[in-house]
Amino acid sequence: MLATYRFGPQTGTPLLIVHGLFGSARNWGVLAKRFAVRRPVLTVDMRNHGASFHAASNGYEDMAADLAEVIAAHGGVADILGHSMGGKAAMVLALSRAAMVRRLIVADIAPVAYGHTQLPLAEAMRDLDLTGIERRSEADAALRPRVSDDTTRAFLLQSLDLKSAPPRWRLNLDVLADEMPRILSWPEIAGRHDGPVLFITGGASDYVRPEHRPVIRTLFPRARFVKIPGAGHWLHAERPRDFGSAIETWLDAK
């Protein structure tokens, strides 16, 4: 089963938080503890990420099945918050196993295929010579020529295990690179999810565009939309207070 971390009360319907590509449960620690004041919270490392198992495939049907296993082990039903890749996995779960998903929150992603690629980031990490690197600042300097954006580099380096001898990435970079076309795509899946769904997006992000709304409403008829002004794709990291408040307001609404 996926590496799973629990916060908050032992009773009640949990909120399961699902990270995006190259992320991990640890990226969501601060928000998980905030949400756990009112409800049990579960965070996971997705397959080929963090402390979870490595596998040869990284498709959305696989990831949805992984999440179903976690939910089954923690009461059989959950509210789910998924960001980016994790949001797609959560949507596939809701469409294929609706009874497991009470409320769904999708952060800055749509149920569509995307034309961009994150393959250069996977290749930059895979090509990085970790020999002799002892500090994160050294890894940062070595990665800078291939990844110029400071925020992106800092995010990627959270998955570098410097306590390992030698240092290693907590990512199965070979599989993630090979499976990038599937990660960027959207699987052929029938049906719709009639439960409440919140699509929360960054005002400065273009991942969820007006032309995506028809397909969103077809698959999720009860979809509602909230935008965080000034936030980009990593809206939970850039505007954590606004993001957390929007989530809590929607979860607490009757």
List residues with catalytic annotation. 84, 174, 233
For the chain, the straight-line distance linking the first and the last C-alpha, in angstroms and rounded, comes to 33
Q: φ and ψ at 227, to 5 degrees?
A: -120, 135
Cα–Cα distance for residue pair 107/167, rounded to 1 Å:
32
Provide the token pair at 158. Answer: 């959270």
Residue-by-residue DSSP string for 102-142: EEEEEES--SS--S---HHHHHHHHH---TT--SHHHHHHH
- The DSSP letter of residue 101 is E
In one letter, which amino acid is 195? G
